[in-house]
Amino acid sequence: MTKIFYMIRKEFLQIFRTREMVAILFIMPVIQMVVLGFAVTNEVKHITLIIADRDNSRLSREIVAAFSNTDRFDITGRETDVREIGLDIHRWKAQAALIIPNHFGRDFRRGLRPDIQMIVDGLDGNAAGVSVGYAGGILREWAEAQARQTPRLAMVKQNTPQLELIERLWYNLDLRSAQYMVPGIIVVLLTIISMLLSALSLVKEREVGTLEQLMVTPLSRFELLMGKLAPFLILAFIEFFVVLGAAQVIFPITMKGSYALLSLEAFLYLFTTIGLGVMISTIAKSQQQALFLSWFFMLFLLMMSGLFIPIANMPQFLQDLTLLNPMRYFMAIIRDVFQKGSGWQYLFTDTWRMTLLGTLIFAVSVLRFRKRVS
Amino acid sequence: MNEIAVQTQNLTRRFGKFTAVDRLTITVSRGEIFGFLGANGAGKTTAIRMLCGLLLPSEGEATVAGFDVYKSSEAIKKNIGYMSQRFSLYDDLTISENIDFFGGVYGLSPALIEERKEALIEQVGLGDFRKRLTRDLPLGFKQRLALGSAMLHDPPIIFLDEPTSGVDPRARREFWSIINELAAAGKTVFVTTHFMDEAEYCHRVSIMRAGKLIALDSPGKLKESYGRNNMQDVFVALVNDEDPRPEEQL
Amino acid sequence: MNPRRVAAISAKEFIHIIRDPRTLLIIFIMPVLLLMMFGYAFNLEIQDVRVAVIDDDNSALSRQLIERFEGSPFFTVFHYQGSREDLETLFLERDARAILSIPENFAATLIGKHPAGIQVIIDATDPNAATSINNYCRQIVTDFNAGLSGGAAMPFTLESNIWYNPEMRSAPFFVPGILALLLIMISALLTSITITREKESGTLEQILVSPIRPGEIIIGKVLPYILIAFLDGSMILILGVTVFKVPFVGSLFLLALLMALFVLTALSLGLILSTIASTQQVAMMLAFVLTLLPTLLLSGFIFPLASMPLPLQLISTIVPAKYFLVIVRGILLKGNTIAELLVQVLWLAGMSVVLLTISWRKFSTNLER
């Protein structure tokens, strides 16, 4: 055991002697946290909109006002000529246009159900769908308010029964994107740091030749790997708390669950990522290749983790494939602990699957890592 | 410890179709300085790696310090010191930290590490530099330090893979005087080199070509039997005259 | 400029590239895998939301309402039998993402011409999904009311007209993004690494003592990468158009021309990095932070720029991929002409000129030292 102590001490000496390393460990993640935290969102806001109010009545002006009072849409122009509107969308001046027809107010009051038209640039299919949804919502709300003011215009005839929907949102009442995304980003940062650093540190020793020297010492394979990896496990763990703290200071998010439970889960997760690091180090011949491979791995882990593409949306075979992605489990765990305050009994399935996967990855990597040269 | 330090019988290593070491049979006794000569790529490093337990042989037998290379490579590692041709200390650690580390890894007690560290620093003459980063040392000092670090656990057998490449002549001479002292103290030194003048310092030398052993004797006897004045000429004679297929030399 | 010397450098560079099959494999396999992954996985529209129903009324009307939920493609409905106190377990176990609760006397109230309330509880951990679920529920309730009254659902109709991509597929959106990402990776990342590698190993000095001029070295070194970039880019476009059915409305010639412009911008970025970085390690880290991440995050590739706070939007104005994405999407889907893309073209051209001038100066002074 004392041999491992010497290994760990040496690794820490090396890490803290390099100033860049300290920056990479403790400053970079916080910067990345800020950029990613603000950039990674699946919210669609500020859709640029042209309004064509051909009616210009009191009612149509109310609709225009309703559209300008939301941050979902930014009204960028008013134009009644359909040809001009088309050209504006074609030339990227606006993403959508709302056309209120002539005599809209009059027809509306007469109950003739006038036709409001919306043109949307469908390049970004998701944004297009969402903006039609938003527009529908704004119009429906406006119409309901009208109905209350002037019952004559109500959507339903008087004296017919009506169903009212009472909505209750649990956990994230203000529907803040950060509350959902930032914990996910903590997972991403933790993965990058632990996987990349353990891979690079092993590959570097091989490149320089010191690994060969270590291999002829009586250190067992276990001692050698533990001595190399324990420092990164410890550092990544400290890292986890740094990022966790920074996230709560920078973003308006709350943590509902138990820190002890979350730390335990993070610790289990780190075994899988460090195992992946060892795996990469056994494949890569140089630090450059290790970096490429990590970036490649990372992209796949990330896409398949549910960070911004919900796993339930994927076709079945991809959903099955995500079962092999350790990041998927920790992503779900951290989000549930953060928002729902879930106890261990609810995270049990995710935890054992993640741990099993981690053990497998770790075992395979350690077996692949020979104490011999190839 | 028996009198035979290293023994091999038809030791062979292939990489795919390429045979790096071909049926090598040697016996090295305790206290001997055994030189391993050959052109680059002749199979010296591969042979030494097999003996250190870094590489499994494809065929043949070998024992080091009485331990079998197949079954007991971990036991071998406790009994050998190894210094590879690439510099093998940590550049970004100080001299003192490097010695602490290797001592610790070999399982020495802190007191023993301290004692041997002082002795080593004294011997290499680095007293004032112990807190300096290793990368700032001249290469000659680095090599002697690396040798000292590889021997902190006082192993009976030492493998040196081209220990003096890139070192200036004076430092090389000093290095070899250390090797002589070690052998006088009863240690077995197994050294590869491509400097033929260094071959003269060895008790016995073996010459390899294309993985095969083509000569094995003391430098004196080799010079005599080939009728040359120095090992350089012996080597050239061996490589040129007796090579039936020179294109296979690599 | 001596073409023979440039050719010699290019030939040498080609050998380097071919001798490193792993990197080459990554360059050509990665886009294919990325395309496949995005093609199958990139779907932000929520689907298959499990709804737990508590029907305390169990009347014909309440069953009618539930049928409407069952009929929606977005919901998978199941009846909740457990205790009312443990409702939250449904969310904690992730068994359901919404709970629909219909009270007793629901039908009686409605038949008695009184408004009846139903409750829907939504797991809002994912705010985006929660918004969609909420919208779909409202839609169903509105339709249900319309059915009850036998009248129109709304006093107006909203007719939406989706242009360029009527089925709102994701492929036309992400294929240009992958193109930009790969071109940046090859042109900026690889070139900066290859030039730093020569600096590190000292071979650059070796070349410099030959009669060759700095400009010839640079052109010679980047030529092979330009070729690879174009091969890779064409591969992505061909796959995008054939396999992922991305429309190609505009001019192929214009696209090729502007792709060359983007490659030039990316190359000048790579050159700048190589003059700053002293080792490959530093070059890689810089390239990673300054080229790959911004292309992925701050270009509009996946995440809408308009939703980001102002500082990030400001940074995005100097991300070349932002303009290139508009160009590619515009030419492929809208059939934009160069006049319509003038702003983007000018930004890219301007950036190239500035970056090239700086790196040219830095490079020649670096070499003379």
Report the run of H or E that residue B145 belongs to, with start and end: helix B139-150
Contact criterion met (CB < 8 Å) for B87 and A209:
yes
Give the distance from residue C247's alpha carbon to the nearest chain A alpha carbon, in angstroms: 11
Is A372 in Cβ contact with B77 (below 8 Å)? Answer: no
What does the pLDDT average to over A205-218?
A: 84
| Residue that terminates a domain, selected from A98, A124, A153 | A153
- Average pLDDT for chain A: 86
Percent of chain C, pLDDT > 70?
A: 95
Give yes or no for a contact between C47 and C23, defined as CB atoms under 8 angstroms apart.
no
**How far apart, in whole angstroms, are the C-alpha atoms of residue C51 and residue C342?**
50
- Report the residue of chain C nearest A45, measured CA to CA: C307
- CA A192 from chain centre, in angstroms, equals 14
Same domain, A115 and A24: no
- Mean pLDDT over A137-147 rounds to 82
> Residue A256 gets which letter from DSSP?
-
Dmax over CA atoms of chain A, in Å, equals 93
Q: Select the CATH number that applies to the domain covering B4-244 from these four: 3.40.50.300, 3.40.50.1820, 3.40.50.920, 3.30.300.130.
A: 3.40.50.300
Rounded Cα distance, A234 and A227, in Å: 11
Beta bridge partners of B7: B27, B63
Inspect the interface and report whether the beta carbons of A208 and B86 lie closer than 8 Å: yes
Between residues B115 and A17, the one the model is more confident about: B115
On the question of pLDDT at C135 being above 90, the answer is no
C319 touches chain A (CB under 8 A): no
Cα dihedral C304, C310, C315, C317 sign: positive
Which chain A residues have a beta carbon less than 8 Å from that of C329? 123
Q: How many CB atoms lie within 10 A of CB B107?
A: 16
Unique residue bearing structure tokens 């319509």: C340
Residue A335 within a domain: yes
Question: Which pLDDT tens digit goes with each residue over C5-39?
Answer: 888 888 888 887 777 777 777 778 888 888 888 88
Which of A124, A153, A182 is at the close of a domain?
Answer: A153
Q: Give residue-wise pLDDT tens across range A216-249.
A: 888 888 888 888 889 999 999 998 999 999 999 9
Q: What is the pLDDT of residues A294-332, one digit of tens each?
A: 888 888 898 889 888 888 888 888 899 999 999 999 999
pLDDT band for B151, please (50, 70, 90 cuts): confident
Predicted confidence at residue C366, as pLDDT, reads 60
Write the residue in A38, A118, A161 that is nearest to C309 by C-beta: A38
ipTM, 2 decimals? 0.80
Q: Are residues A318 and A343 in the same domain?
A: yes
Instruction: Indicate if the pLDDT at residue C367 is higher than 70.
Output: no
| % of chain A with per-residue pLDDT over 90 | 28
The pLDDT value recorded for residue A372 is 62
- Substitution target in A27, A165, A300, A317 with the highest count of C β-carbons within 10 Å is A165
Cβ separation C118–A166 shorter than 8 A? yes
Amino acid present at C61:
L
A193 and A145 together in one domain: no
**Contact indicator for C290, C273 with CB cutoff of 8 Å:** yes
- Other chains touching C, judged by 3 or more CB pairs under 8 Å: A
pLDDT of residue C151: 57
Of the given ranges (A32-41, A157-166, C102-111, C142-151), which has the lowest mean pLDDT? A157-166
In a domain, A361, yes or no: yes
B88 vs A213: CB contact, 8 Å cut-off?
Answer: yes
Minimal CA separation from A63 to chain C, in Å: 12
Taking the domains of chain B in order of start, what are their residue ranges? 4-244
User: What domains lie within chain C, and their CATH numbers?
Assistant: 3-42+170-368 (no CATH), 49-149 (3.40.1710.10)
CATH of the domain at A81: 3.40.1710.10
DSSP string, C212-239: --HHHHHHHHHHHHHHHHHHHHHHHHHH
Task: Give the count of domains, chain A.
Answer: 2
Q: Do A130 and A228 lie in a common domain? A: no
Q: Which residues in A lie closer than 8 A to residue B74 (C-beta atoms)?
A: 218, 220
CB contact under 8 A, C169 and A136: no
Q: Give the gap in angstroms from C-alpha A138 to the nearest C-alpha of chain C.
A: 11
Report how far apart, in Å, the C-alpha atoms of B20 and of each of B49, B61, B72, B211 are: 12, 16, 23, 5
Q: Is residue A184 predicted with pLDDT exceeding 80? A: yes
Q: Does one domain contain both A316 and A211?
A: yes
User: Pick from A90, A303, A310: which is nearest to C129 by CB?
Assistant: A310
- Count of alpha carbons within 13 angstroms of residue A287, beta-carbon side: 19
Q: Which among A13, A218, A373 has CB closest to B78?
A: A218
Name the burial class of residue B248, with classes exposed (0-12), middle (13-18) and buried (19+) by CB atoms within 10 angstroms of its CB: exposed
Q: Do B54 and A373 count as a contact with CB atoms less than 8 A apart?
A: yes
pLDDT for A371 equals 62
**Structural domain of residue A71, as residue ranges?**
47-153
The whole-number pLDDT of residue B242 equals 52
State whether A340 and A239 are in the same domain.
yes
Instruction: Report angle CA B27, B30, B32 to the nearest 5 degrees.
Output: 80
> Could you give the 3-state DSSP secondary structure of residue A171?
coil
pLDDT for the residue A73: 92
A107, two tokens: 């027809």
